[in-house]
Structure 1
Amino acid sequence: MWFAQVETQFPLSNVQNNTTKFNYIAGNLDAKYAAEMRDILTLPEGDPSRRYANLKAQLIDRLSASQDQKTRRLLEHEEIGDRTPSQFLRHLRGLAGNVFPDTVLRPLWLGRLPTAVQAILATQDQANLDKLSQLADAIATTLGAKTIVTEASAQPIRTVPGQVDLGALFE
C-alpha cells in the first residue's frame, strides 16, 4: 500500500526515471529499514533502470508480514479496537488476502464485534458481508459502540521528520 501511495506522487512531480524513483525511496527510508536493505542500497547490481523495481520487490519481500503471519494474526489476535465495523472488516480482508473467502471471514468478523451489534446482526444471515458491515456501522453508531475499546496499545509511534516509517505500513 505504501508503494501505491508513493507511486501516485511520482507523476505529480513528473518523476518518470527509475533511477530517480530509486534515489527518492532510498533517501527517505528510515535508518532501520535502510540497514535491512544495505545490500541493495550499497551494491547496486545489474541494469541501473532495474534498481527501483529490485528495491521495491525486496522491501516488500523483506518487510511485509508473510501470509502465514497475517493468517495467524487474523485468527488469533485482531480486535475491532476503535474502528467502525466496516473499517474492521476491510482490515481483516487485508490480512486475509485471497486465502479466506467471505464465508470464512464472516464469522471471524462477527465474533469480534460488540455483543449488542452481534445480537442484532444475527437476524441478517442472508445479507452479503458488505451490506452487513454498513448495517453494523449504523447499529454501532446508534448504540455508541464506537467508543468501546477492546484493545489498547501503549507503544508510542516514533517518526523522524523527513523519514518514512515503513513498519506500520507493512504490518
Structure 2
Amino acid sequence: MAENKGHSTQDGGLPAAESFRVGVRVPPFNPEKPGLWFHQMEAQFVLANIKSDETKFFYVIGHLDPQYADDVEDIIAHPPATDKYTKLKSELIKRLSASREKKVMQLLRHEELGDRKPSQFYRHLLNLAGPGVPEEFLRTIWTSRLPASTQAIVASQSKRDLAELAELADRIHDVVGIQVRQQIGVQL
C-alpha cells in the first residue's frame, strides 16, 4: 500500500476509506409495495456506492423471484440500450401496483380498523388511497370504520385535520380499552 500525504491508499491511489465497498443487502421483494422495495434497494445501492444503471439492473434481476421476473421478462430479455434499471423499475412498479380504481374499491369494501390504533388505520387508508383522493372522502371512510363511541367524538371535531383527529382517536381508543379491561376484570 502506498502512502499519500499521511493517508493510506489502495491500487488506484484513492484513500482506502473511499474505495471500501459495502455489500448490498437485498430485502425480500414485496409485490404489494414494489415502489417501497425499490426505495429500500436504492438505499442499499447508496451504501454500497453503486451508481451504474447497469449494475443496479443486474442486481435487481438477479434477486427477483421467478414469478415476478415473469412480469418483466420482456425487459429482462431485451433491455433498452440505456436506462435499463430505470425502465425495469418503472415497469415492475406499474405492472404490479394495483390500479387506482381497485385501491379505492378496497377502501370502500374491505378495510377495517381491526386491532390497529385509529392513527395506524388512518395512515394505512392514506397510503392505500394515494394522492388525489379528497380528504373529505378519506375522512368519511376512516370515521365510518371507527367504533361508535369514537365516531361520536370525532364527528364533533369537524374543524380539525385528519392527522389531529387520528391522534385524538388514539387517546379515546386507549381510554376505552382501559375501561373495557377494567370491566372484564370486575366481572371475573
Shorter chain as denominator, the TM-score bin is 0.7 to 0.9
- Aligned letter for 2:162? L
- Aligned letter for 1:62? R
**Aligned partners of 1:24 and 1:116: how far apart in 2?**
51
**Aligned partners of 1:141 and 1:39: how far apart in 2?**
51
Q: In the alignment, which residue of structure 2 is the partner of 1:160?
A: none
1:124, CA displacement in angstroms? 1.6
Match of 1:132 among 144, 156, 165: 165
**Aligned partners of 1:3 and 1:80: how far apart in 2?**
28
Where in structure 2 are the equivalents of 1:26-45 lying within 5 Å?
26-45=61-80
- Aligned letter for 2:157? Q
Flag as ranges the 4+ runs of structure 1 deviating above 4 A: none
> What is the TM-score normalised by the length of structure 1?
0.77
**Aligned partners of 1:18 and 1:98: how far apart in 2?**
29
> What is the TM-score normalised by the length of structure 2?
0.71
Larger radius of gyration: 2
1:78 and 2:111 equivalent?
yes
**Aligned partners of 1:20 and 1:141: how far apart in 2?**
49
Q: In the alignment, which residue of structure 1 is the partner of 2:44?
A: 9
How many pairs are equivalent? Answer: 144
For structure 1, which runs of at least 5 residues remain unmatched after alignment? 146-171
**Aligned partners of 1:137 and 1:6: how far apart in 2?**
33
For structure 2, which runs of at least 5 residues remain unmatched after alignment? 1-35, 179-188
1:25 and 2:60 equivalent?
yes
